């Protein structure tokens, strides 16, 4: 999170390819170093310095996509759903590729292939234009909000709650299926595979959504995640649980793509920091989810943990709705100030 925040700020001060190249290079180097089977202290150092910094690749790629579409005839948000669909495709085929490599050359093959993958990311980024095409300077009505303002803090809190629910559900659901519903690990695999597959067309379909509907679509995505968790708590059939993961995939695609665009709209001249804020909300959700889902599952059971995920999804929806109302009030006040005589 610290590395992503630093690189995001550096990107905004000097837009270019180097933050993404640096992050991908560090990640690739880290996976190569893991091939040496280092002792645990060195393994921890590699994880923190190289793999941790490598997580900044995600926000940097989306910041580049935003900047390279600025000034074009197309909508500035067009690049985000397309890139998000590619990310979903990677989630769908990555585990299959990893499993095949694990069955063949083993862990060394997985690590080497991952390092090569980050190397290909570096090559792809270097083939972009030397400098992205930055957006024109925003006028007074659309300039960047302070990071401490409610217009930024409330959506960020909403996205963090959404990600805590999403990742906590991913921790509790497999155990709920296998230990409570007597399902198999293969059933869990089908659930998450269908979820990832559903993300791809859902993300691409967002290209057809008008800009003025973005916030409504985010609310719809969060509401869909709430419905998903409610059904997961209520249903007991494995087949039905597999099917409802389509709703989870659509919710993740909608909030994932439009959430990034929303943060970039709040900070139009700082795409690096805007995308990093959204990415770090996901990282924070992942950090909290293990402790939250594990602790609740241990004390109250897996179904209770999934119910808490539904509550968190509802809170995320409410906080984002509050953020939109707050934004409308600020916009009305801004218009009033501009029209009032001085």
Q: How far apart are CA 240 and CA 84, in angstroms?
A: 27
Q: How far apart are CA 92 and CA 59, in angstroms?
A: 20
Check residue 33 and give its pLDDT. 94
- The DSSP code sequence of 135-192 is PPPP-GGGSPPPTTSHHHHHHHHHHHHHHHHHHHHHHHHHHIIIIIS---HHHHHHHH
Does domain 140-339 sit in CATH 1.20.1250.20?
yes
Chain centroid to CA 212:
22
pTM of the prediction?
0.84
Kindly give the confidence (pLDDT) of every residue in the chain, 342 residues in length, as a single tens digit, with 9 standing for 90 and above. 888 888 888 888 888 888 889 999 999 999 999 999 889 999 999 998 899 888 888 888 888 877 766 544 344 445 677 777 787 778 778 877 888 888 888 999 999 999 999 999 999 998 876 555 555 444 444 455 555 577 889 999 999 999 999 999 999 999 999 999 999 988 998 998 899 889 889 988 888 888 888 899 999 999 999 999 999 999 999 999 999 999 999 999 999 989 988 998 888 888 889 899 999 999 999 999 988 898 999 999 999 999 999 999 999 999 999 998 887 766 656 555 555 555
Q: How far apart are CA 94 and CA 103, in angstroms?
A: 14
Domain with CATH 1.20.1250.20 in the chain: 140-339
Q: How far apart are CA 125 and CA 123, in angstroms?
A: 6
CA distances 55 to 27, 184, 269, 277, 280, Å, are: 8, 32, 23, 13, 10
Check residue 67 and give its pLDDT. 74
Check residue 138 and give its pLDDT. 47
| pLDDT tens-place string over residues 49-65 | 899 888 888 888 888 87
Check residue 249 and give its pLDDT. 94
Check residue 181 and give its pLDDT. 94
| pLDDT tens-place string over residues 279-300 | 999 999 999 998 889 899 999 9
């Amino acid at each position: 999170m610290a590395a992503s925040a630093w690189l995001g700020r550096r990107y905004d001060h000097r837009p270019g390819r180097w933050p993404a190249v640096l992050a991908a290079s560090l990640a690739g180097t880290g996976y190569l170093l893991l091939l040496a089977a280092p002792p645990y202290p060195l393994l921890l150092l590699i994880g923190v310095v190289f793999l941790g910094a490598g997580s900044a690749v995600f926000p940097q790629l989306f910041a580049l996509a935003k900047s390279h579409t600025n000034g074009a005839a197309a909508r500035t948000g067009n690049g985000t759903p397309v890139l998000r669909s590619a990310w979903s495709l990677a989630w769908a085929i990555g585990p299959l590729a990893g499993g095949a490599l694990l069955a063949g050359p083993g862990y060394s093959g997985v690590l080497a292939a991952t390092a090569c993958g980050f190397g290909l990311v570096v090559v792809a980024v270097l083939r972009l234009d030397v400098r992205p095409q930055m957006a024109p300077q925003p006028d007074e009505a659309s300039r960047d909000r302070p990071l401490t303002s409610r217009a930024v803090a409330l959506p960020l809190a909403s996205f963090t709650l959404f990600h805590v629910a999403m990742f906590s559900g991913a921790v509790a659901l497999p155990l709920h299926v296998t230990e409570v519903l007597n399902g198999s690990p293969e059933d869990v695999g089908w659930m998450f595979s269908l979820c990832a597959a559903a993300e791809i067309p859902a993300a691409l379909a967002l290209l057809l959504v008008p800009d003025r509907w973005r916030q409504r679509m985010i609310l719809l995505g969060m509401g869909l995640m709430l419905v998903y968790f409610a059904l997961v708590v209520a249903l007991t059939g494995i087949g039905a649980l597999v099917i409802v993961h389509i709703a989870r995939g659509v919710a993740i695609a909608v909030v994932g793509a439009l959430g990034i665009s929303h943060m970039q709209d709040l900070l139009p001249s700082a795409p690096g920091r805007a995308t990093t804020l959204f990415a770090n909300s996901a990282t924070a959700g992942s950090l909290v989810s293990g402790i939250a889902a594990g602790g609740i599952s241990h004390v109250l059971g897996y179904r209770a943990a999934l119910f808490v995920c539904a509550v968190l999804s509802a809170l995320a929806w409410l906080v984002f709705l509050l953020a939109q109302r707050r934004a409308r009030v600020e916009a009305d006040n801004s218009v009033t100030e501009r029209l009032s005589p001085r």
